Amino acid sequence: MRDAQKGVAAMALASTVWGLSSLYYKQLAHVPPLEVLAHRTLWSLVFFGVVLAVQGRLPLAWRLALGPDRWRVGLAALLVSSNWFLFIWSVQAGHTVEASLGYYIFPLVAVLIGMVVFRERLSMGQGVAVGLAGVAVLVLTVGLGVAPWVALALAITFGLYGLFKKRLAAGPVVSVTAEVFMLAPLAVAWLLAVHGGVSEFGRPGGWFGQSLRTSAMLAFSGVLTAGPLVLFSYASRRIGMATLGLVQYLNPTLQFIVAVLVFAEPFTGWHAAAFGLIWVALALYTVESLRQDRAARNATASVGTSGTAVK
């Protein structure tokens, strides 16, 4: 199997795990979301720490967390933890359809952030795609009488997270390890408070240690979080960004299927109209991304050929 095929396979597997993770967190609906988040953070740190220790790269994560970029790592950590919390809460509260919409919208939000922050110029296709996403949000807001805040919050927190990650000179595994390292004291403090009697859902005491099944699932949430990111890191070094983004749509698609067919969440005509607009927007965005990726590769090839000819 060629490197590109391995990359696509790794990205497909990562997106499948992400897309089906709602089934997992639904089984933890009896555990308050902040408690789930705290365990997810700590067990992710354990997993990432072992992976980097085996690779001999663990000091890189500590240097990143404690170095000059620590403020940027800290902001990224707060954003990703907010995104994780919102996703866990949305699954437990029956808003998985809206969560899937958020991850569909995310690429278009990222394009908008690039335009505002980095003054990147949008192509016509990208501009139309972002506009259609805005219309989709407006349709849901008018139809349901309330803005899809969960979807917007998930897309914006993940988009801003990508913005801060863009400025970090570190790979995804190293940077996420640094982020969960910075979050670990908060997670430990919360779990100590919960096990000491603080009540989040009217039930004093923490869930870890109360049953083998729940304890094992809370611990495995670290693997469920870290594993796909390792796969993503592997894939990102072997395939182009356009292909990476295209395969990644498998994540919200599976979330959407699980929400409607397994969780039986409401899917109205307004939802259908909004999702239809988003899917058209993503089709335009994908075609434009593939076109730009092909043009960049052709330009690189031309430069290489010209350089060889001159020599």
Residue 310: its pLDDT value, please? Answer: 44
63-96 per-position pLDDT tens digit: 999 999 899 999 999 999 999 999 999 999 999 9
Residue 182: its pLDDT value, please? Answer: 95
Does position 179 have pLDDT exceeding 60, yes or no? Answer: yes
Q: Which amino acid is at 165?
A: K
Does position 168 have pLDDT exceeding 90, yes or no? Answer: no
Residue 1: its pLDDT value, please? Answer: 58
22-72 per-position pLDDT tens digit: 999 999 999 999 999 999 999 999 999 999 999 999 999 999 999 998 999
Residue 28 makes CB contacts below 8 A (sequence gap 6+) with: 36, 88, 92, 214, 217, 218, 221
Residues 287-292 have a mean pLDDT of 80
294 versus 49: which is more confidently predicted?
A: 49
Q: Give counts: helices (H), strands (E), the chain.
A: 12, 0
Does position 311 have pLDDT exceeding 50, yes or no? Answer: no
Q: CA distances (Å), 231 to each of 111, 149, 224, in order?
A: 24, 30, 11
Residues 136-148 have a mean pLDDT of 89
Q: For 31-40, 78-87, 289-298, 300-309, which range has the lowest pLDDT when averaged over its residues?
A: 300-309
Residue 202 makes CB contacts below 8 A (sequence gap 6+) with: none
Alpha-carbon torsion angle 249, 250, 256, 258, nearest 10: -160
CB 180 within 8 A of CB 45: yes
As a whole number, the mean pLDDT across the chain is 87
pLDDT band for position 8 (50/70/90)? confident
Any idea what DSSP says for residue 169?
Answer: -
Residue 253 makes CB contacts below 8 A (sequence gap 6+) with: 19, 100
Residue 237: its pLDDT value, please? Answer: 79
Residue 19 makes CB contacts below 8 A (sequence gap 6+) with: 250, 251, 252, 253, 254, 255, 258
Does position 309 have pLDDT exceeding 70, yes or no? Answer: no
Q: Among 144, 156, 160, 41, which Cα is nearest to 95's?
A: 144
Report the distance separating Cα 288 and Cα 274, nearest Å. Answer: 21
